[in-house]
């Protein structure tokens, strides 16, 4: 085929960046829908701040940790200086990335990815974490932890040298968020009343339309997340990625539907939404390499994992209000291994990648959160938890369900 013009490649990666941006609204609405009404403003506030902090720290530090330049090939850690400055030897915006996209395009696409892993954590720790300590953790997590492990593969580091494959980030983004979430919920403990002597008491989300909007917007954004990770507008590659991504998501939702119907005799809508998302996470590591048929199998298995994983974490009394550990950690690990099974045929590098990145991320998150816990504290008081974080942290309610007319009457007395 003739070479794809620079401008076309660049345009597609920019559009993909826009699409990944909208995933942040997807996370915000999904998580808001799946928590209790009294903690809705809090989770929305966190999701806005995560994105903003993520973009600014990735500009200042993260991008330069994750892509320190070719000198660091094979390495564990590198840094190319603060802020956005064109790499040495690059004459202009367009003399970059083998002429596939501009330096700023590269930055904005990667920056949109960076904040997603912190958004994953925010759902799992919802309804009981203190706001300011959480934002402190998120800042360090996005600024340091995510770019360091990201460099190991995408920045040309040692996992890349080893042959580890993770196309769009089942491990580098999703399981990183999942490991951070796991460390946090271990240190935080479960919400009051979740695990009782009589067993697990489900605490249902307060707004299913909102959660559904979230799941659909995440899928929508995933066209950019996976499709943009081709890093070019190559017609065959991008169209294959669209097909595998969608078939994986569809198969995930369908098997979760069937498995949870057989297992629980119920048609739980939020479970099916998580199945859909599990399918997306599962397909992400190999979306460019699976056949459509394999994509259906990989997504279907991811969807089947979800109900079992949810039960598993509940058995360990690890309370995750939105199921983020099941969706992003369990299915992220599965998807990464699936590349070794259905794609490259090499399982060992995949296992090494999963374990190395998991260990680093979990330890980083655990240590940072432990220090925060021992100093400023991590968890809100029991009173705040009962009253809800909207009133106690924000002095607001998510909804003003005031009878028609009465409120105006009241204020005009």
Residue of the chain from 8, 98, 311, 376 that contacts a copy of itself (CB under 8 A): 8
**Region binding a copy of itself by CB under 8 A among candidate stretches 53-61, 170-178, 333-341, 358-366:** 53-61
Neighbour tally for 21: CB within 10 Å? 20
Residue 116: name the closest of 156, 146, 84, 136 by CA. 146
DSSP 129: B
Of 71 and 98, which CB lies nearer to a copy of itself in the complex structure? Answer: 98
Cβ atoms of residues 319 and 189 within 8 Å: yes
Residue of the chain from 11, 162, 187, 356 that contacts a copy of itself (CB under 8 A): 11
Residues of span 118-177 touching a copy of itself by CB under 8 A: 131
Residue of the chain from 17, 140, 285, 330 that contacts a copy of itself (CB under 8 A): 17
Binding mask 359-388 for a copy of itself (x = CB under 8 A): --------------------------xxxx
Cα distance between residue 370 and residue 316, in whole Å: 20
Cα distance between residue 319 and residue 185, in whole Å: 7
Residue 199 touching a copy of itself (CB under 8 A): no
- The residue assigned the tokens 């959660």 is 211
Minimum distance between the CB of residue 161 and a copy of itself, rounded to whole angstroms?
30
Residue of the chain from 71, 77, 81, 201 that contacts a copy of itself (CB under 8 A): 201
Q: For residue 264, how far is the Cα from the chain centroid?
A: 27
Residue 345 touching a copy of itself (CB under 8 A): no
Of 166 and 288, which CB lies nearer to a copy of itself in the complex structure? Answer: 288
Residue of the chain from 124, 145, 181, 247 that contacts a copy of itself (CB under 8 A): 247
Binding mask 295-314 for a copy of itself (x = CB under 8 A): -x------------------
Minimum distance between the CB of residue 345 and a copy of itself, rounded to whole angstroms?
22
Q: For residue 88, how far is the Cα from the chain centroid?
A: 32
Of 56 and 162, which CB lies nearer to a copy of itself in the complex structure? Answer: 56
Minimum distance between the CB of residue 360 and a copy of itself, rounded to whole angstroms?
27
Of 125 and 159, which CB lies nearer to a copy of itself in the complex structure? Answer: 125
Residue 352: name the closest of 171, 183, 178 by CA. 171
Contacts of residues 358-363 at CB distance under 8 Å and 24 or more positions apart, as own/partner, are 358/175, 358/179, 358/333, 360/145, 360/148, 360/149, 361/145, 361/149, 361/175, 361/176, 361/179, 361/180, 362/179, 362/180, 362/182, 362/183
Residue of the chain from 18, 187, 352, 371 that contacts a copy of itself (CB under 8 A): 18
Cβ atoms of residues 172 and 336 within 8 Å: no
C-alpha count within 13 angstroms, C-beta hemisphere, residue 238 = 19
Total binding residues toward a copy of itself, as defined by CB under 8 A = 129
Residue 236 touching a copy of itself (CB under 8 A): yes
Q: For residue 36, how far is the Cα from the chain centroid?
A: 21
Binding mask 256-295 for a copy of itself (x = CB under 8 A): -x--------xxxxx-xx--x---------------xx--
Tokens (6 digits) for 163 = 């042959």
Residue of the chain from 52, 90, 316, 347 that contacts a copy of itself (CB under 8 A): 52
Residue 205 touching a copy of itself (CB under 8 A): yes
Residue 206 touching a copy of itself (CB under 8 A): yes
Q: Which residues contact 235 (CB under 8 A, 6 or more apart)?
A: none
């Amino acid at each position: 085929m003739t070479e794809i013009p620079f401008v076309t490649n660049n345009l597609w990666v920019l559009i993909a960046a826009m699409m990944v941006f909208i995933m942040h609204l997807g996370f915000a609405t999904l998580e808001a829908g799946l928590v209790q009404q009294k903690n809705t403003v809090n989770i929305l506030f966190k999701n806005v701040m995560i994105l903003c902090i993520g973009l600014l720290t990735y500009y200042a530090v993260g991008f330069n940790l994750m892509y320190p330049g070719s000198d660091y090939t094979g390495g564990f850690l590198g840094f190319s200086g603060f802020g956005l400055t064109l790499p040495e030897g690059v004459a202009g915006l367009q003399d970059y990335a083998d002429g596939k996209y501009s330096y700023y395009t590269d930055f904005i696409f990667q920056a949109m990815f960076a904040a997603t892993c912190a958004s994953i954590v925010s759902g799992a720790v919802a309804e009981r974490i203190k706001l300011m300590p959480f934002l402190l953790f998120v800042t360090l997590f996005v600024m340091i932890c995510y770019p360091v492990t990201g460099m190991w593969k995408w920045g040309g580091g040692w996992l890349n040298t080893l042959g580890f494959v993770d196309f769009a980030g089942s491990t580098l983004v999703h399981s990183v968020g999942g490991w951070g979430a796991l460390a946090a919920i271990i240190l935080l403990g479960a919400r009051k009343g979740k695990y009782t002597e009589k067993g697990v008491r489900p605490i249902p989300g307060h707004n299913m339309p909102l959660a559904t909007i979230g799941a659909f917007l995440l899928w929508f954004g995933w066209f950019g997340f996976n499709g943009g990770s081709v890093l070019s507008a190559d017609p065959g590659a991008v169209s294959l990625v669209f097909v595998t991504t969608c078939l994986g998501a569809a198969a995930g939702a369908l098997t979760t539907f069937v498995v949870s119907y057989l297992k629980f005799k119920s048609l739980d809508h939020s479970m099916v939404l998580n199945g859909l998302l599990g399918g997306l996470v599962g397909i992400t590591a190999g979306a460019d390499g699976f056949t459509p048929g394999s994509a259906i199998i990989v997504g279907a298995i991811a969807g089947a994992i979800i109900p079992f994983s949810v039960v598993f974490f509940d058995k360990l009394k690890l309370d995750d209000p939105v199921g983020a550990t099941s969706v992003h950690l369990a299915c992220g690990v599965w998807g990464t291994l699936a590349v070794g099974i259905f794609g490259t045929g090499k399982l060992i590098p995949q296992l090494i990648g999963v374990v190395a990145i998991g260990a680093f991320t979990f330890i980083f998150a655990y240590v940072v959160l432990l220090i925060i816990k021992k100093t400023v504290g991590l968890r809100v008081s029991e009173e705040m938890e009962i009253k809800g974080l909207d009133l106690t942290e924000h002095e607001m309610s998510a909804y003003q369900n005031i009878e028609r007319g009465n409120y105006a009457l009241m204020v005009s007395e």
